[in-house]
């Protein structure tokens, strides 16, 4: 099985997925916010906020894990993506770091399945097409390092975002790069 065979792209509500972990596109406080962050906190219940309060925030590009509480996912990996400032402040590297660090946490916990939203593409303004290329390339590189996680899902909130991820995955498979 190739690394590309271990990646899927779907359009769905990430809070409904029955996977070992979903990744939250969190802010540095980890205390909830808008978009996918707010949806995950709402669906998980108040226990998630209480757990996040014990984590002392999280730096941009890093990730931390909590239980999933009322979610179908067993865990939530909170990754803090960069705010887009035109690409001159290390945003690409920080976004790649979010994906890499999330997968390292999943690997350390021996989690078989992880679902990612399109980190930083909402209110943080990261260009969605470029973010998808970075996400797919970074995940492929990490998956090439070992058997875990077995499956990574890019869970898009709309078809346009899913299309960017599918195109990046197709480019990876064809050898054109992500």
Q: What 8-state DSSP symbol labels residue 178?
A: -
For 46, 54, 129, the CA distances from 166, given in Å and listed in that order, are 35, 37, 10
Q: What is the DSSP letter of 1?
A: -
Query: Catalytic: 37?
Result: yes
Catalytic residue among 8, 13, 37, 158: 37
Mutual angle of helices 159-174 and 128-143, in 10-degree steps: 50
- Could you write out the DSSP letters of every residue in 103-115? HHHHHHTT-SEEE
Active site residues: 37
């Amino acid at each position: 099985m190739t690394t590309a065979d271990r990646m899927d792209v779907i359009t769905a509500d990430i809070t409904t997925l029955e996977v070992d972990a979903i990744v939250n596109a969190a802010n540095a406080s980890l205390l909830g916010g808008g978009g996918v962050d707010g949806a995950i906190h709402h669906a998980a219940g108040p226990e998630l906020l209480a757990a996040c309060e014990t984590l002392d925030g999280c730096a941009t590009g890093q990730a931390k894990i909590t239980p999933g509480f009322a979610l179908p996912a067993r865990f939530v990996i909170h990754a803090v993506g960069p705010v887009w400032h035109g690409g001159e402040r290390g945003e690409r590297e920080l976004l790649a770091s979010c994906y890499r660090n999330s997968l390292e946490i999943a690997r350390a916990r021996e989690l078989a399945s992880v679902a990612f939203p399109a980190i930083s593409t909402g209110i943080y303004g990261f260009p969605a097409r470029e973010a998808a290329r970075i996400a797919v390339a970074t995940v492929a590189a990490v998956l090439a390092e070992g058997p875990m996680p077995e499956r990574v899902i890019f869970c898009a909130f709309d078809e346009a975002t899913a299309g960017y991820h599918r195109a990046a995955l197709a480019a990876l498979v064809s050898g054109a790069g992500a």
